[in-house]
Amino acid sequence: MCGIIGYTGDKKASDIIIQGLKYLEYRGYDSSGVAVLNDGVIKVAKKEGRIVNLERHLEEYPLEGHLAIGHTRWATHGRPSDDNAHPFISFHTRFAVVHNGIIENYLEIKEELMAEGVVFRSQTDSEVVAHLVEFMDKGDTKRAILDAVAKLKGAFALGIICVDSPDVIYAVKKDNPLIVGVTDNEGFICSDINSLQKFLSEVIVLDNDQMAVVGRGKAEVFSFDGIPVKKERIKLTAEEENALSDYECFMDKEMSEIPSALRRAIKFYREEKCFSKIDKDYLKKIRRINIVGCGTALHAGLYGEKLLNKFIPDVDVHSEMASEFRYDDVKVDENTLTITISQSGETADTLTCQRMVNARGGKTLTICNVPTSSMVHYADYALMICAGPEVAVASTKAFNCQELVFAMFVFDLALLRGTITPETYAHFCAEIDALPEKAEKALALREKISAYAARNFRRKSVFYLGRGMDYCVAMEGSLKLKEISYIHCEAYAAGELKHGTLALIEKDIMVVALVTQKNLIDKMYSSLAEVKTRGASLTVITPFADNPSLLDIADYIMEIPVTEEVLSPIISVIPTQLMSYYIARAKGCDIDKPRNLAKSVTVE
């Protein structure tokens, strides 16, 4: 959802910006730009489309200089174009600004500035910031920025440079992520911790309402009141190499990392005694659990809901997509726990819900992948999923790890509350230990699924079906397929199809069914017979590959390893991830950067 980066140092700044932007491109990729300060003049290059367009432009028209800011955009206000690309320059070209977020009161500010004769060159909300800062400037750059920021409403991470400060980048954070870091003779700002791994070994994570003045080898942090703030430096530990290596794309790489990510998550959860860090007395008292997330993270939450309902029957569980949760009159009291799930920990809808719950005095626990994220920072408790950097817009390994960590939490909670026996708990622990190897076996379906995709990638419409826990995986499989292949796809609880949607089933429609729960095979068979009778092509993902009914009805069977049923969604999702990947690949889609999307959605 827009990525920003800034550099000051001895190297050619525009080169560093391009390298950094490539790591940030997953945050938005409809235009990019760079502003370089050299000899008291700011020069800007901006290009619609992918970063490679900007890179080519800079090869032809290089920008010399050692201080620069850059931006990669996911359009909100103003269509993707060169003009609407960042950075924006102020009216007397003294300031350049890059912005991630939304300035809610930009129209009001724009009118005021236009009345003063300022001419705007874009349709964006962000341009107002550049002009406003210059308008506020009375000779003290830091003061001008703080005065301008005091007038802004909304969410913003800003990178600002000024002709008066040839070695300094100003970084401002409110509700959108921003990291700063320095080496002996360099300074960086960036939206994302992973993008700085190449350059830095430690970083400072800004909190809301903080500004940093970043120079060569030094960073000072201030509150929006201008008061200096002492900040801790966080060491960067690369869990996975976030370069592509020999893989075709990040989604391919990240699916291959599922087994190692699961191993790491299990080890971390146990060795760090993550569950014991949550207040036991509180956990025993909980009467209600809300689960909130978006997209893939929400689907992991729906799985968590099924587990909680099964193993902690005396707790009311309510799961909801974050964008709706905040409008519901959801109950939050001292015996309610709200669990937010998020890969990035920055998704605005989810973060807003977390804040809303905290503001009402409720406790929050986040299941998250990014330790330095806002969600981890502001939650009462955090369980890290340790999936390692996820760069592809389509989430894969994070989903498997979110499900895993949710399951481990539920088993611990059930043991604590006495709703499972120590023997059952030990059985689940052993089954959890077996998951990474089972994930490896499921990934061995690659070849079969690649051939399957070659035969099926022209399908116009696909339905994913499942019952019980399988329904959560059906939803995730369906989201993944439509997201990267642009094929129309829907997920249905298998029993619900006959109440209307069955009307859409005809010849050439592809139906993918998840059948991992033994007691549901017969019921699933009835639903599958209904679609088969209407001419659909049927693919079944199941560990019961020799079941005569399934063998009889399926056109394709994707066999997955037998897994403890309550854990099967962690494995059964893998063929759906592979199917999406190979189908999108067969269609020639840009897998890591699907159209209209961005990885980290930091606007509501």
Binding-site member from 294, 348, 376, 472 for ligand F6R (CB under 6 A): 294
> DSSP 3-state assignment of 374?
helix
Indicate if 599 belongs to the active site.
Answer: yes
For the chain, the farthest-separated pair of C-alpha atoms sits apart, in whole angstroms, at 81
In angstroms, the Cα distances linking 4 to 1, 552, 576 are 10, 55, 33
Rank residues 33 and 477 by Cβ distance to ligand F6R and give the closer one: 477
Query: Among the options 43, 438, 532, 599, which is catalytic?
Result: 599
- Residue 462-481 contact track with ligand F6R, rule CB under 6 A, x = bound: -----------------x--
373: left (phi over 0), alpha (psi -120 to 50) or beta: beta
Amino acid occupying residue 558: M
Rank residues 3 and 87 by Cβ distance to ligand F6R and give the closer one: 3
Supply the DSSP symbol for 424: H
Rank residues 398 and 497 by Cβ distance to ligand F6R and give the closer one: 398
The angle formed by the CA atoms of residues 528, 532 and 533, to the nearest 5 degrees, is 115
Q: Which residues pair with 91 in a beta bridge?
A: none
Number of residues that bind ligand F6R (CB under 6 A): 15
- Residue 59-98 contact track with ligand F6R, rule CB under 6 A, x = bound: ----------------------------------------
The rounded distance, in Å, linking the Cα atoms of 403 and 406 is 5
Binding-site member from 101, 177, 181, 295 for ligand F6R (CB under 6 A): 295
Helix or strand holding residue 100 (H, E):
strand 95-103
Binding-site member from 219, 291, 445, 601 for ligand F6R (CB under 6 A): 601
Rank residues 306 and 599 by Cβ distance to ligand F6R and give the closer one: 599
Binding-site member from 103, 204, 205, 394 for ligand F6R (CB under 6 A): 394
Rank residues 186 and 192 by Cβ distance to ligand F6R and give the closer one: 192
User: C-beta of 597: minimal distance to ligand F6R in Å?
Assistant: 8
Using the contact rule CB under 6 A, the part of the chain among 141-149, 230-238, 275-283, 289-297 near ligand F6R is: 289-297
User: C-beta of 399: minimal distance to ligand F6R in Å?
Assistant: 8
Rank residues 81 and 343 by Cβ distance to ligand F6R and give the closer one: 343
> DSSP 3-state assignment of 221?
strand
- In this structure, are residues 504 and 497 in contact, taking their beta carbons and an 8 Å threshold? no
Which residues in the 476-535 window bind ligand F6R by CB under 6 A? 479, 483
Q: Read out DSSP for 271-315? A: HTTTGGGS-HHHHHH--EEEEEE-HHHHHHHHHHHHHHHHH-TTS
Rank residues 298 and 514 by Cβ distance to ligand F6R and give the closer one: 298
How many other CB atoms sit within 10 Å of the CB of residue 361?
10
- In this structure, are residues 23 and 195 in contact, taking their beta carbons and an 8 Å threshold? yes
- Residue 336-375 contact track with ligand F6R, rule CB under 6 A, x = bound: ------xxx--x--x-------------------------
User: C-beta of 299: minimal distance to ligand F6R in Å?
Assistant: 8
User: C-beta of 419: minimal distance to ligand F6R in Å?
Assistant: 29
User: C-beta of 75: minimal distance to ligand F6R in Å?
Assistant: 17
Rank residues 90 and 344 by Cβ distance to ligand F6R and give the closer one: 344
How many other CB atoms sit within 10 Å of the CB of residue 290?
25
Contacts of 311 (CB under 8 A, 6+ apart): 410, 411, 413, 414, 419, 420
How many other CB atoms sit within 10 Å of the CB of residue 19?
18
- Residue 157-176 contact track with ligand F6R, rule CB under 6 A, x = bound: --------------------
User: C-beta of 479: minimal distance to ligand F6R in Å?
Assistant: 6
In angstroms, the Cα distances linking 117 to 105, 110, 302, 540 are 19, 10, 53, 65
- In this structure, are residues 183 and 198 in contact, taking their beta carbons and an 8 Å threshold? no
- In this structure, are residues 362 and 332 in contact, taking their beta carbons and an 8 Å threshold? yes
Half-sphere exposure of 220 (CA within 13 A, CB side): 9
Rank residues 344 and 563 by Cβ distance to ligand F6R and give the closer one: 344
Q: Read out DSSP for 156-194? A: EEEEEEETT-TT-EEEEEESS--EEEEETTEEEEES-TG
296 binds ligand F6R (CB under 6 A): yes
User: C-beta of 61: minimal distance to ligand F6R in Å?
Assistant: 36
Rank residues 344 and 478 by Cβ distance to ligand F6R and give the closer one: 344
Q: What are phi and psi of 218, to 5 degrees?
A: -155, 140
The rounded distance, in Å, linking the Cα atoms of 60 and 81 is 20
User: C-beta of 302: minimal distance to ligand F6R in Å?
Assistant: 12
Binding-site member from 13, 128, 149, 297 for ligand F6R (CB under 6 A): 297
Query: Among the options 2, 353, 368, 472, which is catalytic?
Result: 2
The rounded distance, in Å, linking the Cα atoms of 348 and 203 is 23
Which residue, judged by CB position, is nearest to ligand F6R in the bound state?
A: 295
User: C-beta of 263: minimal distance to ligand F6R in Å?
Assistant: 21
In angstroms, the Cα distances linking 397 to 12, 497, 563, 593 are 36, 29, 18, 17
Rank residues 358 and 424 by Cβ distance to ligand F6R and give the closer one: 358
User: C-beta of 415: minimal distance to ligand F6R in Å?
Assistant: 28
How many other CB atoms sit within 10 Å of the CB of residue 329?
5
Amino acid occupying residue 496: E
The answer to whether the peptide bond before residue 87 is cis (omega within 30 degrees of 0) is: yes
User: C-beta of 42: minimal distance to ligand F6R in Å?
Assistant: 34
* Interacting residue ranges for ligand F6R, rule: CB under 6 A: 294-297, 342-344, 347, 350, 394-395, 479, 483, 600-601
Catalytic residues: 2, 599
